[in-house]
Amino acid sequence: MSLERGQEQITRVLLWRHGNTDWNAAQRVQGQLDVPVNDRGRAQAQAAAAVLARGEAQLMITSDLSRCTQTAAPLAELIGLTPERDARLRERHFGSWQGLTTPEVRERFPESYARWRAADPDPGDGLEPLADLGKRVSETIRQAAERVPGGTAVLVSHGGAIKYGVAALLGWPEEMLPTIAPVQNCHWVDLILQPSYGWRVSAYNVGA
């Protein structure tokens, strides 16, 4: 379904974060490790899918990690689409932190943890620089929009990837980023592209 204001077509991209995992609940750093959704995450995905299906998306692309492909499945079934997989939608790589709980990271990597807490975009210990994360996700958003002019695409991704991908796409300044709340499990960001305005955020951190 294309959205129109006046005579202009509006292209819509919904960035949908995956459902809850046991590692989310335990505050364990997932990064690019492949952790499945849990029962709560599956229920979240079912509820969100019922809402997102109203958008009549023409394209679905998901991170290739299982917590995203599992989240995408209920919506794909409802609207009759086969999601494509794109590794560019993966979460930020958290280097040496992956698999550790937040207290473990703080204890083992105090310097990079302190830099990360201070919003350093490249804190070290193998964490992917935010510029690289934003570039790969924003490129995927732009390319998805180009494929459905006047229509809707749903991209299933991860909390950090969504936040910093949107920031890169819209050119938000670095000092603004700590003031933007993270996207919760199975919530989404609604982006619209209108010829006379360019990209804009229509809604942020929306849930079922």
Decide: 184 and 207 in contact? Cβ < 8 Å: yes
Q: Is 67 annotated as a binding residue?
A: yes
Q: Is 17 annotated as a binding residue?
A: yes
Query: Of how many residues is the chain composed?
Result: 208
Q: Is 24 annotated as a binding residue?
A: yes
Q: Is 99 annotated as a binding residue?
A: no
Catalytically annotated residue among 4, 18, 128, 158: 18
Q: State the Cα–Cα distance between residues 48 and 181, nearest whole angstrom.
A: 20
Among the listed residues 124, 120, 135, the one whose alpha carbon sits nearest the alpha carbon of residue 167: 135
Is position 91 annotated as part of the catalytic site?
Answer: yes
Q: Is 126 annotated as a binding residue?
A: no
Q: Is 151 annotated as a binding residue?
A: no
Catalytically annotated residue among 4, 91, 107, 146: 91
Is position 18 annotated as part of the catalytic site?
Answer: yes
Give φ, ψ of 152 to 5 degrees: -130, 135
Q: State the Cα–Cα distance between residues 97 and 1, nearest whole angstrom.
A: 42
The helix (H) or strand (E) run that includes residue 14 is: strand 8-17
Decide: 11 and 142 in contact? Cβ < 8 Å: no
Q: Is 22 annotated as a binding residue?
A: yes
Decide: 37 and 22 in contact? Cβ < 8 Å: no
Q: Is 205 annotated as a binding residue?
A: no
Among the listed residues 191, 187, 204, 203, the one whose alpha carbon sits nearest the alpha carbon of residue 71: 187
What burial class does residue 112 get, using C-beta atoms within 10 Å of its C-beta: 0-12 exposed, 13-18 middle, 19+ buried?
A: buried
Q: State the Cα–Cα distance between residues 77 and 79, nearest whole angstrom.
A: 6
The residues assigned a catalytic role are: 18, 91
Residues annotated in a binding site for substrate: 17-24, 67
**Binding site feature residues:** 17-24, 67
